A and B are shown apart, each in its own frame.
Chain A
Amino acid sequence: MEHLPLIAQVQAYTAIALGLIIGLGAIGACIGIGIMGSKFLESAARQPELIPTLQGRMFLLAGLIDAAFLIGVALAMFFAFANPLLAKFG
């Protein structure tokens, strides 16, 4: 129990870090999807006959853009529930 303040400190910093991971990742992912989506709509309006091809590519790109964000979310969740930094305290 003498480690309680230290444990609390590690958990507090972990919580802040999780917020940053998810928040900053979300900013990047959403702005990326927004830019890509706007380009898609522009080209769809310009050349409607290409919509099926472009739509397929758009979904592919959406998956790729979201990748880093979701990896961050997965890591953040891992730290939230099985924080390895607390293992030092036993």
Chain B
Amino acid sequence: MAAEETLSSTEYITHHLTHLTVGHGFWSFHVDTLFMSTLLGLLTLGLIYSVSRTSTAGVPGKGQAFVELVVEFIDTSVKEVFHLDRSFLAPLALTIFMWVFMMNAMDLLPLDLPGKIAGLFGLGHWRVVPTADANTTFAMSLTVLGVVLFYSFKAKGAGGFIHELFTAPFGANPVLWIPNFVLNLVELLSKPVSLAMRLFGNMYAGELVFMLIALLGAGFFHLTVGSTVGFFGQIAMGAAWAIFHILIITLQAYIFMVLTVVYSAMATEHH
């Protein structure tokens, strides 16, 4: 953002809401989302991996204690709900939890900072929160749908799954096949949609509130009573919203993880 140009508030917000896009139409790629999500994934998993390499059986260091805490927490959560072999699901849950948490946590960075850094590289836009992009959340939730279908087929067999698709919950009478199928389809499709939209909505709204708070202090350099009040209001409200947002970030990551596990567990139940 050049120092000479002045933006209206709408332009400021729409500028901050634009992704760095390559291509157009269906083939547009949000380069900033792709880069940030990959970077954060490698960082998070790389950290856990490096801690696992240097773990000792004796007195643990802080890093090891933290990772053990998280792993045990995830394992307990998975064990409560899922009763088959959890050697695939628990690591998946750990990945989801840590990765979504790190991606969400990018929302706590100062609002104009990523744009300034991207400006140094000559890029016009940079949105740091990958989960505020519906593409990320839908990609993850569609993968979760794939996992749920995998467990359905694994627990019931292909034939059993199709049978249950047409006969649960109302009954095996051929008249009821269509209602059963419609209901099961709605249930199956509503899971990834709600999962994705919940995370996206929370993160998008959070980012937007940060932008609106940033606009409060925008008039500071004109030094009127209103703008000075706005400046201190921005600090206070920004701090309050950031603190509240820490809770939201953790909660949404936890919810995504728990729902993945719960949906997988529900998929292995027989009717």
Query: Which residues of A approach B to under 8 Å, CB–CB?
Result: 59-60, 62-64, 66-67, 70-75, 77-78, 81-82
Contacts and interface: CB of A to CB of B under 8 A. Distances in A.
A81 B251 contact: no
Contacts of A63: 198, 251-252, 254-255
A10 to B, nearest CB: 15
Contacts of A75: 201
Interface of B: 10, 13-14, 17, 194, 197-198, 200-202, 204-205, 208, 251-252, 254-255, 258
A70 B201 contact: yes
B255 A64 contact: yes
A74 B205 contact: yes
Contact of B204 (A60, A66, A74): A74
A72 B205 CA distance: 9
B204 A62 contact: no
Main secondary structure on A side of the interface with B: helix
A74 B13 contact: no
Given A74-B204, A74-B208, A77-B205, A60 B258 contact: yes
A73 B198 CA distance: 11
A81 B254 CA distance: 30
A15 B95 CA distance: 41
B251 A67 contact: no
Contacts of A70: 198, 201-202, 205
B201 A71 contact: yes
Contacts of A74: 200-202, 204-205, 208
B214 to A, nearest CB: 14
A67 B85 CA distance: 31
A60 B201 contact: no
A60 B255 contact: yes
A82 B208 contact: no
